[in-house]
Structure 1
Amino acid sequence: MAPHRLRSMDVLINVFVGLHIIGIASLLGGFLTQMKSMGAGTARFTPAMLHGALIMLITGVALVGIHQAEGHTVNNLKIGIKLAILVVILGLVYVKRDEERVEKSLFGSVGALTTANIFIAVLWT
């Protein structure tokens, strides 16, 4: 039996998955570090949150494209829901990125939507 050889496409997929996780960490980390500020009404969307969401979008689209190019089936409903949630997150963060304070409900919505997107990715198989 020949040893398992890592294909270059597998390496590319793993790189994109790693970058996707970094994007999630940046977006969710930006939210979590401001939980106390959110309670005080002084939370704001940081550049790291915007960049994290953009990284998630770019790497997510790349991963779907690579999987489809390799002939794998993709759950279009799941990907569509995740994309819709991410577009809402990106819209909120982009529009409010320069404001010194973001409403608690708006800031909390971004955290809740980010968390929902993570659970959809992990639990929906």
Structure 2
Amino acid sequence: MDVLIHLFVGLHIIGIAALLGGFLTQMKAMGQGAARFVPGMLHGAATMLVTGVALVGLNQADGHHVNTFKIGVKLALLIVILGLVYVKRDEERVDKGLFALVGALTTANVFIAVLWT
């Protein structure tokens, strides 16, 4: 079971990398007001959602303690991120504030995962 959990952790990190990497590659365009949500950001957020749910289930099935409040906060942030990216995915330009919000929420999600014990 540990190998499966570690596999899903790796996939979860790949999802984070796709979402945050897509944001970071658009930073210059955001400064010029031409940022857009690239497809990798949507796929990264969806990967994070699927693998995160799987990780909670696998950890509970293996008898590990799961901090449900922390997972709830992370899930709420991810649903907001996924909703914004999904709704605005076809627009050529996304408002700077909205684009920055997705980056900030993604970064907050990473720090919650790492620092909240």
TM-score (ref. length: structure 2)? 0.99
Measured in 1, the distance between the counterparts of 2:51 and 2:86 equals 18
What is the aligned partner in structure 1 of residue 100 from structure 2?
108
What is the aligned partner in structure 2 of residue 63 from structure 1?
55
Higher Cα radius of gyration: 1
Alignment of 1:23-62 (within 5 A): 23-62=15-54
Gap runs ≥5 in structure 1: 1-8
What is the aligned partner in structure 1 of residue 83 from structure 2?
91
What is the aligned partner in structure 2 of residue 6 from structure 1?
none
In the alignment of these two chains, the number of paired residues is 117
Gap runs ≥5 in structure 2: none
Measured in 1, the distance between the counterparts of 2:60 and 2:6 equals 16
User: Is residue 121 from structure 1 mapped to residue 113 from structure 2 by the alignment?
Assistant: yes
Which of 12, 28, 37 lines up with 1:20 in the alignment? 12
What is the aligned partner in structure 1 of residue 65 from structure 2?
73
What secondary structure does 2:48 align onto? Answer: helix
What secondary structure does 1:72 align onto? Answer: coil
Percent of residue pairs identical: 79
* Cα displacement string for residues 39-98 of structure 1 (whole angstroms, at most 9, x for unaligned residues): 100000011000000000000000000011112221011000000000000000000000
RMSD over aligned Cα, in angstroms?
Answer: 0.5
* Residue identity opposite 1:96 in structure 2: K
* Cα displacement string for residues 88-124 of structure 1 (whole angstroms, at most 9, x for unaligned residues): 0000000000000000000000000000000000000
TM-score (ref. length: structure 1)? 0.92
What secondary structure does 2:41 align onto? Answer: helix
* Residue identity opposite 1:102 in structure 2: V
Measured in 2, the distance between the counterparts of 1:108 and 1:37 equals 12
